[in-house]
Amino acid sequence: MAPVLRTTPPGHDVILYDGHCRLCGGAARQLQRLLGGTGTRLRSFREDGVLAAFPGVTADRCERALQLVLPDGAVVEGLEAIVLALGRRPLGRLLRVYYVPGLRQLLDALYRVVARHRFRIAGRQCPDGACVVHFK
């Protein structure tokens, strides 16, 4: 694992997801269930002040992929972030199959396609109507 960047260390895992995306919100709820009481916090990057706590983690980065801020401030994104977050749970070691050469590249490409089209796939949920900016 090579961290994409470093930011302010939170002292625990923080997963930044898109709270305006139905697919992302559902995945975040599922992640929370799977993670249980591990101390991992899930936060929508769209909430006021969330990104200010993590300099260098931009809204643009979060638009492209889920971000995992590790306790030491290292940031990992996308599918690898999910693999790392769940890898410490029972049966999480099975997720190491992600690192098989070729499979990782295939899964990352699939993740990027789903992330890019997430609003078309599952819709959006913006109470203030601001989600119109996500369709370009």
Sign, CA torsion 89/54/47/79? negative
Q: Supply the CATH number for residue 95's domain.
A: 3.40.30
* Overall domain count for the chain: 1
Sign, CA torsion 27/116/107/81? negative
Q: Give this prediction's pTM.
A: 0.84
In a domain, residue 15? The reply is yes
In a domain, residue 135? The reply is no
In a domain, residue 134? The reply is no
In a domain, residue 117? The reply is yes
Residue 67: which of 55, 76, 79 has the closest Cα? 76
Contact at 8 Å (CB) between 66 and 86?
no
Q: What is the pLDDT along the chain (136 residues), one digit of tens a residue?
A: 555 699 999 999 999 999 988 888 889 999 999 888 778 999 999 999 999 999 999 999 999 999 999 999 999 999 999 999 998 887 788 998 999 999 999 999 999 999 988 888 876 655 555 555 544 4
In a domain, residue 108? The reply is yes
